Chain A
């Protein structure tokens, strides 16, 4: 476990270092603007943000800030710190993401399992038809379609902005489209595979009812690939989607991953990247711990020795 934690810290450090090198090697800086600033002003700005320091010193400074979990002031939104930007945006993206993930699991999983159990029958065909659609349609197409149909034509839901539960519906559906479909397909193929296994045949041969076979023996094992997918999915969806947030005008965190790069907002690029990486490695750890809970082959076997 300690080795595992060290490797997690190392991973984040490597990501931060690569990010630092990349962002400083891209042409243009945070203060290059359409209207060129007088040299004296550029000098003042660079001094303020320590951009006049040699690169190694900036690197050490930034790594130190990451250790303290203080990413410094944003170079674009000058009255806010990067920590504040994350504090403002993340809860919104996370709440929307939680709804989307819940939706994808609660719909995707049963649909996938039912498809597997009704393999090649009409239920399966319809479900997988939808799943293919869900995987194939990019979220911005889905979002545009939803806005057009449910906001503009039917007027059931607001087309954009944020605040009431109604505002969650369209973006959460658009966001859930892909993972829902993907989970359904994953659950289906995994279930089909498990149903072919010897121990299922054994269970059936022993005369256990179909119900017990499915719930006690097949289901748990078929969840492994789904869990593997859900861990990183949570890290991904909870930190927000640039496209969905932009199209629905949601003040989440997702935009900052993209716009900070356009703006060469060095502190925000580093802050959001590190935040995401930390979240991701934690989710991967949680995923691994979950395996132990559901897969007897991984750890319960050890206990029984």
Chain B
């Protein structure tokens, strides 16, 4: 029976192969490998992976959207290869004592339709993004600007938003409080300028490549939905000598196995999500690469649900897993075991210092002895009498594998028998997490900007992302205090104190598991691509070396 089937399959293959061969007899020679000649345009092909939701910088929120506009647009600043903000449309700036007033001086730059890029374009763009009627998700990224939140929530007036073009080339901004990461934010899409003349004439200018206007290293020349984005070098860009690529092509292939085939057949040079089962093989070939990503994969405890309302149980669960095993045997892409909350690669007060290194670890990995003692203290020696607990995750093979390992570790290390795993479709899971009708939920957090605050202010009482429902008035007060502190050293001390409080007795609202990494496939001839630890990719300095 089996043999018959096999023969049938082989026959089918042969027949289909014959059919295919018949169709293409005239073009059976495979396309010759591109020979590098000096005249040939230098093209880099990258798989963006998805169709960008929009190319309107005011309305975008995701990394793919950022990546889609970063070649074509530039804000006041642009992140340099060392991760620090450098000059962009602004060639210099003054910051007031106390850090709440910024004055930006703009260079002579042009939009790709010939209009000059002016300070008015920035003022217009920021106020546009804050317009309640535009209803931009990321309008809150602009809340650092004085008067922005009031206007966006319908309580204030647009005239009180403290961004003002003093003249065509000078932009003055007042902030609500000191924000040491404000220059980083100025490179962020929400803060990018829009061509105000064009927008007034055609509010949908961003919807097609024909009407899109660029001011970055490249010009957007083509946007085929769910298929391709193309960019060409912008001859009017102020720093055009630094741009080596003639053309950039982004594809939107979603299936990771298809993406891998394209990479292996030379249709793309760079791709983002290598399929997990192939990682070992790709590592051996040397095309699998990893760079840092400011993010933490963790479990949230619902601190209102017994037995998780006892911090000792939460701490015991946190200590009793072996993160090294999880990152080495399950996730495998080079993730780092997380023994604290704020991930590495966030700068501390002193230049060059790393917040994580200064702060150190808060607990030991796989500390079973301490965990057992804590669990006994909480009244469940060796897991006896422990009420059932449940782990919730959004449906995905990767999350499932991790949850199963953790279930096994808790069972083996702490003797907790009754652990159920529940998976829900993404949006259902989000609804459950927000409603607080879970016990332990998987989550991930990627920083919005390079500062520990993007990880710490989410745990304030009633915070929109504080699904643990943990509440500590001292913590809330310290967050507010740190926001107002103008001395960077003192401020950073406060941020370290905030993290201390998360792992103090009585706290432990979360169980950090690992720090994310950004894993990707890149051909060796691709050079100079800057992958920000916040996710976005900058192709400005990229080139092909073959």
Contact = CB atoms under 8 A, between A and B. Distances in A.
Contact of B24 (A31, A38, A40, A156): A156
Interface in A11-43: 26-29, 31-41, 43
A248 B443 CA distance: 31
A245 B455 CA distance: 38
Contacts of B61: 33, 35
Interface in A201-231: none
Contacts of B226: 88-89, 251-252, 255
A37 B137 contact: yes
Interface residues of B, number: 67
Given A78-B54, A161-B267, A249-B253, A44 B152 contact: yes
A26 B428 CA distance: 8
A147 interface: yes
A38 B148 CA distance: 13
A138 to B, nearest CB: 15
Contacts of A76: 53
B398 interface: no
A40 B152 contact: yes
Interface string A103-143: 00000000000000000000000100110010000000000
A137 B518 CA distance: 36
A27 B140 contact: no
B255 A247 contact: yes
Contacts of A158: 267
**Residue of A33, A48, A78 most packed against chain B (CB within 10 A):** A78
A38 B443 CA distance: 19
A35 B13 CA distance: 48
B210 interface: no
B431 A160 contact: no
A267 B308 CA distance: 40
A159 interface: yes
B265 A152 contact: yes
A155 B12 contact: no
Contacts of B16: 146, 173
Contact of A38 (B9, B140, B228, B261): B140
A169 B23 contact: yes
Contacts of B431: 27-28, 32
Nearest to A39: B464
Contacts of B426: 28, 262
A249 B228 CA distance: 10
B427 A48 contact: no
A40 B153 contact: yes
A151 interface: yes
B20 interface: yes
Contacts of B15: 130
A251 B267 contact: no
A264 interface: yes
A155 B361 CA distance: 51
Interface in B121-180: 132-137, 139-140, 149, 152-154
A89 B262 CA distance: 22
Nearest to B24: A156
A31 B135 CA distance: 11
A80 B52 CA distance: 11
Interface in B246-276: 251-255, 257-258, 261-262, 264-265, 267
Nearest to A248: B258
Contacts of A144: 257
Given A27-B432, A126-B11, A77 B427 contact: no
B427 A28 contact: yes
B56 A160 contact: no
Nearest to B13: A149
Interface in A68-92: 76-80, 85, 88-89
B403 to A, nearest CB: 18
Given A152-B264, A161-B253, A246-B255, A37 B20 contact: no
B227 A251 contact: yes
Contact of B465 (A36, A148, A156, A255): A36
A249 B53 contact: no
Contacts of A78: 53-54, 56, 59
A38 B464 CA distance: 7
A155 B227 contact: no
A156 B262 CA distance: 14
A208 B226 CA distance: 58
Contacts of B228: 161
B152 A32 contact: no
24 contacts: A27-B427, A38-B153, A40-B132, A40-B153, A41-B135, A43-B153, A43-B154, A44-B136, A79-B54, A89-B225, A146-B16, A147-B258, A149-B13, A151-B261, A156-B24, A159-B267, A161-B253, A246-B258, A249-B252, A249-B254, A251-B226, A251-B227, A252-B226, A262-B425
Interface of A: 26-29, 31-41, 43-45, 47-48, 76-80, 85, 88-89, 126, 129-130, 133, 144, 146-152, 155-162, 166, 169, 173, 246-249, 251-252, 255, 262-264
Given A34-B444, A43-B153, A79-B59, 15 more contacts: A26-B427, A32-B430, A33-B430, A41-B152, A44-B139, A47-B135, A77-B225, A88-B226, A147-B261, A149-B17, A156-B28, A159-B258, A169-B20, A247-B258, A248-B258
